[in-house]
Structure 1
Amino acid sequence: MAASHTHYRRLIDFAATLPPTPTAIAHPCDAGTLEAAVEAARLGLIAPILVGPRDKIASVASAADIDVGQFPIVDAPHSHAAAETAVRLVHEGTAQALMKGSLHTDELMSAVVARATGLRTERRISHCFVMDVPGHADPLIITDAAVNILPTLEDKMHIVQNAIDLAHALGFPAARVAILSAMETVNPKVPSTIEAAALCKMADRGQIVGAILDGPLALDNAISLEAASVKKINSPVAGQANVLVVPDLEAGNLLAKSLSFLAGADAAGIVLGARVPIILTSRADSVMTRLASCAVAALVALRRREPGNAIAS
């Protein structure tokens, strides 16, 4: 593991001390997913349950020289059936987390949000990146860059609360939430600034709990004390935010990928708001990123079982 990834190493090392989280991996029919499953199991992060076409899984494993003989395989004929079967394993209590294999995100999430058979809760489902940015003192949670395209104000209330709960599961000393926009003042012509102000007032009224919120904030004065000082913004969040809430999916995707490709950051991905954490990986993810995503899911699952447990970031 690269020396820069201290936050991920701490997450992985702590999660490895816990009992492995039984994790249903939907359609693990590519070498990257199987390699990550084997390594995550070796480290004790998860106990993989491979859900998909038995022959295809065996063929991919054999071609890549990956030994999956120690893992249970639940046969499912195709990716859609694999997603539905993985969700059923959660309902049965066999799995405490889900992991995306080589199927489209929409396929897995359709099974998760199905009204009759899915894993919905009263919360809006949302995605968080836990980013390990070289040179940045703290890990950054960025939300939502993968699930909610144009979230409403009500959606954002759930998105923020999901991210706060994740910060607590990871043991952040304090969740400091910046509601991002292009500027730090409320401008009636820029809807994201109005929603940012509304979310902060929701926190004041107890509709969002467990964190300090500030917004609207531009990215620079959310994460740079110097930039916040220049703009004369004085708050417990400005310049030291560790949770960044973006206006929409496009902004979040651009921010996360900019950090990844320009700053060398890694982005562990997790979906929250369902009955269990969902590890949402990309084919381009490194093994390190996949392991960090497994570690995050294990800590979220632990928090749900034992609310007092967390890891310091």
Structure 2
Amino acid sequence: MKATAATIAAVQRPDGGIPWETGGHLDPWNHLEAAMGLDVAGFGAEAEAAYDWLVRNQRLDGSWAARYHGGGIDLSTMDTNFTAYVAVGTRHHFLLTGDRAWLDRMWPVVDRAVDAVLRRQQPSGAIPWRDDPGIRLVTGCSSIHHALTQALALASMVGLDRPHWLDAAHRLRAALVGEPRLFAAKPHAMDWYYPVLGSVVTGADASARLAAGWDRFVVPGLGVRCVHHEPWVTGGETAELALTLAARGDRVRASELLACLARLRHDDGSYWTGYQCADGEFWPDERTTWTSGAVLLATAALDGDPATCQVFGEQPREW
């Protein structure tokens, strides 16, 4: 874990931002996944620098831009799930450290971010991805649901009540479960497992959902296809499915998936984004920080790390 985390830290910029790769762009969601990976590997100072970047770059409306490059904004629109995800990272770091002063500093950031996202919630309960109100994504909304569960837990920790957040989470879940026509149909693995990872689908329904898509997306001995019809397995999707399973106690399948990632591991500890099964080649030619972050989180969950299992395990419906 240390070697992998060190490769993330080597890419991290002096201002705390974590781009996909050296000199590449940064987005808030993948920045946070990499930061959480740093945290579970013992790189706490680097993780806190990543959160400091979020504090400094949060906009007045509570959001972050969808993409940054160099020292500025590269795409100014808000990705709603990217902005909501700060709640997940904040609770994870607090559970790891117990640092109440740090939480008190981050709480207003989370509070503003969640409200920025919920201002976009539609009467149906769904939340659009970006500015187009007609584009609603299963993965994005499932991630927002997960973020709302973590934001509600944080509110409880600081002694505040946010009943409108709980109502928003229930309405969002109801839309995802009961109104699938509202959401864009996509062939991606994330649309399969993210409703489970985000605790939209729980219990026996979650098990049934994973079973229904397993043979479609999982290539034995290789990992998880990014999309079901392409011979391309990816480290991020494989690690996130392993994280989903491990945090819910399915250690056998989680361990098998993580074993597949040995193929993607570079000598320095970083991970290739994906592997083209038909050609037998790594593709694209990149080793992304968020892939390494996902691997570190999945490894921590498999090892039984309490903070990671609590944040990524099945969440209660009420806080």
TM-score for both structures, normalised by structure 1: 0.29
Greater fraction of residues in helix: 2
With CA pairs under 8 Å and 6+ residues apart, which has the higher RCO, 1 or 2?
Answer: 1
Name the structure with the higher strand share: 1
Larger radius of gyration: 1
